[in-house]
Structure 1
């Protein structure tokens, strides 16, 4: 299957490399605070805020008819056999239809600037919003740094994971990097306008000046 990600990134994001942190490597982006600072992750109020904010942001970025690339990057040591013995369960658990999973594209690569002993296993699935159990997936991402049954890489202490939702139709990328925050970037900042206006009080204060300047300058 043809890899659709790289021509998309080349044509719409000036060849941006898809990796954290998207907000600081992109010209037009927003960074939102997700969890409640200083509150235990398992606090009911905190979990409710995580669920409410991630769901609302996702629903703002992705419409039912949009074409999406669901991308999972698993970062491991070169000699780690984790993925051979137990493939990432993102697509098994959070993609509704088995026939959709047959479209999964896989590649193995090494980012030169990183540790030479580290590699990234990348999985790319073309799909649409209704194909993804996105609400429980977003919650699973938020749990990844905590001991919990939904941990995506449970059982591998030497692996890390990043999940990106790429809106091919609207030229936007959604990255919940952990329970603390979420980056949303766009090829045209006007596609960020409604998020900036309606979820303004969720913007991380640390990055607010940069975001305000980006959105308000021509």
Structure 2
């Protein structure tokens, strides 16, 4: 099943873009690195915070994805329309793919720009996607790169001057759930059925921000 057909079947009406939690009822928003500021002693990065963020994001990923699961690794690349002919699938599928032979199966499709009408005349979106397994990915480095979006830390996802930082989505097509890290501040998990994410809600309840808790519990039919 192709990505478009899969999403239409299991997540009808969903646009694969940031703010999945807002679009879909069955989901959880997690806050990362809570209580630890990004900087210390002026402008020095607080590495302790980022180690905490990496640990939290990796813990969630490992609980959501097993070695047996089939995965769609999806990357949204946002670029100037004038650069359409130069667009490449970022560093994601070069640096973070262990099984290089899978690059032959990489697919792409054009999508509408998702960050506001005022920029839609200048920018466009290309979506790259690849079906793979967890063991095909350098997922630890990829997760760190997603968390490092706003800071001078490595690893990083590729981008051109003036373009938006790429977004990476992990879709578990065996369990029908989607995991998205928007940056070091947090991540989102949505699912086709609440049973797929209830263990996550119980195990990592302390990472749920209080301002979203009531809505999450209502949507999961816990209240």
Q: Give the TM-score taking structure 2 as reference length.
A: 0.89
Which ranges in structure 1 are unaligned for 5 or more consecutive residues? none
Q: Are the counterparts in 2 of residues 106 and 122 from structure 1 also a CA contact under 8 Å?
A: yes
Tell me, yes or no, if structure 1 residue 39 matches structure 2 residue 37: yes
In structure 2, the partner of 1:102 is 104
In structure 2, which of residues 25, 28, 52 is the aligned counterpart of residue 27 of structure 1?
25
Partner of 2:33, secondary structure, is coil
Residues 149, 165 of structure 2: 8 Å contact kept: no
Which residue of the partner structure matches residue 73 of structure 1? 76
Between the aligned partners of 1:66 and 1:87, the Cα distance in structure 2 is 24
Q: CA deviation at 1:118?
A: 1.7
Separation in 1, partners of 2:164, 2:140? 23
Indicate if the aligned counterparts of 2:89 and 2:128 stay in contact, CA closer than 8 A: no
SS at match of 2:196: helix
Q: Which residue of 2 aligns with 1:51?
A: 54
Alpha-carbon offset, residue 149 of structure 1: 4.0
- 2:126: which partner in 1? 121
1:137 to 142, 150, 161: 142
The CA deviation string for residues 151-185 of structure 1, in whole angstroms up to 9 with x for no partner, is 21354232331100000000000000111010000
Unmatched 5+ stretches in structure 2: 40-44
Task: Tell me the number of residue pairs that the alignment of Structure 1 and Structure 2 aligns.
Answer: 215
Q: Does 1:10 align with 2:8?
A: yes
1:43-79 deviations in Å (ceiling 9; x for gaps):
1321221111011100111011000000000111211
Question: What does 1:66-215 correspond to in 2, within 5 Å?
Answer: 66-80=69-83, 84=86, 87-111=89-113, 114=117, 115-215=120-220
Q: Distance in 1 between matches of 2:131 and 2:206?
A: 33
Q: 1:36–1:49: 8 Å Cα contact kept in structure 2?
A: no
Contact 2:74 2:170 in 1 (8 A): yes
The Cα shift of 1:36 comes to 3.2
Structure 1 residue 86 displacement after superposition:
5.8
Cα distance in structure 1, aligned partners of 2:103 and 2:16: 22
CA contact (8 A) 2:78 2:113 kept: no
TM-score, structure 1 length as denominator?
0.91
